[in-house]
Amino acid sequence: MQLVEPRPSRPMPIRMTPLIDVVFILLVFFMLTSRLLPVGHLELANATPDRQAADGQPLPELTVLNDGRIRWQNRTLASEALVAELVRAGITEVNVGTRPETGLGHFTQTLGQLDAAAIQSHWKRDSGTTP
């Protein structure tokens, strides 16, 4: 006595309707949960407050300008010259600010040069009110 019917010899067709429904639901989910931002901008959620070094002195404030130069202590320098000057001064930690029009390439290049010189950097968004 056989309790289970044998499987038919021909292959069972795959029904596409449930698969299409699942794909459509996933498409709607990802469309609703994603944001479309300009490719040239990077938004970081790293609001670094004004930090102070261990000895109580405020950290140097660097501002990356839209042409790639960096403003520090009321002077504007190229990034290579500024990093060399920071290393000579023995500075190992800085706050890096950006202007609203600063490009992502200049910002990441500055962070890379600071990191290569073993200078720890903290990003601080500039409101654009400073010169």
Domain boundary assignment for the chain: 61-125
Give the model confidence (pLDDT) of 46-73 as tens digits. Answer: 555 555 555 567 788 888 888 888 888 8
- pTM of the entire predicted model: 0.53
Which CATH number is 61-125's, of 1.20.58, 3.30.465, 3.30.70, 3.30.420? 3.30.420
In the numeric block, which tokens belong to residue 123?
């990003």
Give the model confidence (pLDDT) of 89-113 as tens digits. Answer: 888 888 888 888 888 888 888 888 8
β strands within 14-107, DSSP E? 61-64, 70-72, 75-77, 93-98
**Contact, 70 vs 63, CB < 8 A?**
yes
Question: Whole-angstrom Cα distance, residue 4 to residue 16?
Answer: 27
